[in-house]
Structures are given as structure tokens and as C-alpha cells.
A = this chain, B = another copy of it.
């Protein structure tokens, strides 16, 4: 393999640049040429492809976002679109791809690889951490720390005013961000999609605390919780406990940005190198990940279909620690 391409796709996450950098440097180290594809599959179809040298990625490891940008592509969902994408890659002589993204990215990569036989290796770049095949995804640690930093600030004001704060963090399908935010933020309650928490339980817990003369509370709500989002939950709770002063904060897109943490830079660098080495070893249609400190390659199809299970002990910890 003499020439590879790299792109980012789906929601951006901190550490994507560190991963791109590692892909470029590892390729240069191995004597392989690298091309950057802009805006994911959309740019692939349009031929937005440029050569990346070692110094193209200088001074990028600490930057949030993705220098290759990201976008959704409806065209790539059609056979037609993928054929055009493949034609562009052929034109540039690209023989293998590194795809940095989440399950949407890998679903596309899987089909593309099967249809046209081009080897693709994925790196898990998403703040959600809900990908099977790796203990942590690139950007997750940063997102959690960003959220926690905001929660620390909110607790200052919660404590000063005797308030109940309902803080919504990202997590449409999972509580991976909510759980460490709740434990690390000293929250009284956490609400995540993986565990049922009724409004009644929330009300009871708050009332019990209040009766023990506790006056400020933090409830962390994953945006995809089955009981509703933070605004909805707060509204229900406020009705049941009218004497409490309930407030809502939705952390939102702030969680996607920022300079990556040490752990994310390390993970991104390690996986970027692993993607290049994997391609050169002849692997394809797999995602590189770290499980129990060891590098593993998991077939795309498994990363998409298998579910990563959150440690139930962590949910219990929130209860123990808010005693």
C-alpha cells in the first residue's frame, strides 16, 4: 500500500486532530503517502482531497474540532454516490482509508468496503463512548471533563442559593457521559437511558434530603433518558415540590469542543498509528480500539450491532456517595 486517505465523519469530537496527526505521521514514518479528505463522505464524492505532509499536522494535537471538517452525506447512502466516491479515490490512487467517526461512519464504511473492496480501518471518534470494541472513544474523556467543569461552576451557585439544578448532558442512547458527571460532580441523582428512574423516585429522594435539611441538589439527566429531558423532568418535579427552587441547564454543544485531555490525545495517537499499521498488515473493515489496555481490531459489523454495557456498579455508586 503506497497511498492512503484519512477523513472524519459524523459529530466532531476533541482528539480527532490528534488522530489525523498520528495517521499522517505514522504513514510518513512507514513511507506511505497520505491524503486528507475534507467533509467526510461528502468531500470524498466531490473529490475534496489534498496531500498531507508531516508538517501539515504540526501544532494540531491540542486543537478541538477537526481540521478535515465533517458533514453528513445523503448521496453516500446511495450506490450511485458511493460509486462516485470510489472513482475519486481511484483518481487519486488511494488504496486504503482511515475513517475517524462513530457508528454512522462505520456503517457507511462497512458497505463501501464490501462493495468496492477498498480496505478501511476505523478509529472511534465520538464523545458518546457507546461503541462496542473499545473501552473509550476519542473525545469522551474531554467531553466528560468539560461537562464536569461546568457542573462544578453550577454547584457554586446551587449551594449559594438553595436550589435544585437539573443539568442535561449529552447521551441520546446511553449514560456514559452522565455517570461520571454524576459521580464526579457529587450529584444526588442520575437519570440515564439504561436504567429506569421514575419521576416519583426523584421526588422522593429530593424530599428525603430536604427533610434532612439539605437544601441544594444536583440531578444529572442524560438527554435521552426515558423519563424525559432535563426541562421536562424539572417541570414535573417542580409541580410535586413547589417549595423547592428548580433550575435547568442544558450543557449542549460546549461538550463537543475544547482542547483534548491527555488521555484523549494519547488514545487518539495510539489508535491513529494502529489504523495505519493495521492497513499495512492487510487488515480491513475493522475498527481499532483499546480494550483492557490492549489494542484490538473489531469488525465494523460488530461495532455497529453489539452493545457496550455500562457497569451497573457505577449507578449504585451515585446512591452510596450521596448518602
Contacts and interface: CB of A to CB of B under 8 A. Distances in A.
Contact of A323 (B29, B69, B270): B29
Interface string A252-278: 111011110111011001100100000
Contacts of A66: 160
B257 A152 contact: yes
12 contacts: A22-B321, A25-B321, A25-B322, A59-B159, A61-B185, A64-B157, A65-B157, A65-B159, A71-B162, A154-B254, A156-B257, A184-B269
Interface in A54-75: 54, 59, 61-66, 69-71
A153 B249 contact: no
Contact of A155 (B16, B257, B293): B257
Q: Is the interface of A mostly helix, strand, loop or mixed?
A: helix
Interface of A: 8, 11-12, 14, 16, 18, 21-22, 25-26, 28-29, 54, 59, 61-66, 69-71, 135, 141, 144-146, 148, 150, 152-157, 159-162, 165, 180-181, 183-186, 247-254, 256-259, 261-263, 265-266, 269-270, 273, 292-293, 311, 317, 320-323
B183 A269 contact: yes
B253 A250 contact: no
A251 B250 CA distance: 8
Contacts of A180: 262-263, 265-266
B321 A160 contact: no
